[in-house]
Amino acid sequence: MENSRFNSYRNMWVMVLFDLPTETKKERSTASKFRKTLLEDGFSMFQFSIYMRFCQSMENAEVHTKRVKGILPEKGKVGIFAITDKQFGRMEIFHGTSKTQTDSPSQQLELF
């Protein structure tokens, strides 16, 4: 395995999947705040209840996983997992019956 900074086995994707209640105004507000906080932490919406974030390493992925655990809503179901960039690149994505290319990760600067 090469020792490159952008190694597809070292780089990780953190995925957050959730199903939150939205019956009441308070529940809708809680769900909206959860999504907004994910976006503020650098996650992108993959689907309405699936957010993902590219991380340079497993250690960085663990930092963002810990942040998500710190904002978990009281109700609902949330799943968090990390996969390598190599695994993410093997995902097949379809829009209707047409297959589309997976987007390559945007280059993010790390200042520390």
Range of the domain at 53: 12-100
The whole-number pLDDT of residue 109 equals: 53
Q: Quick check: 45 and 99 in contact, CB under 8 A?
A: no
Quick check: pTM over 0.95? no
CATH of the domain at 63: 3.30.70.240
Q: Quick check: 60 and 21 in contact, CB under 8 A?
A: no
Select the more confidently predicted residue: 5 or 79: 79
* Residue 21 belongs to a domain: yes
The whole-number pLDDT of residue 111 equals: 57
* Residue 35 belongs to a domain: yes
Which tens digits make up the pLDDT trace of 52-74? 999 999 999 999 999 999 999 99
Q: Quick check: 1 and 9 in contact, CB under 8 A?
A: yes
Question: How many distinct structural domains can be found in the chain?
Answer: 1
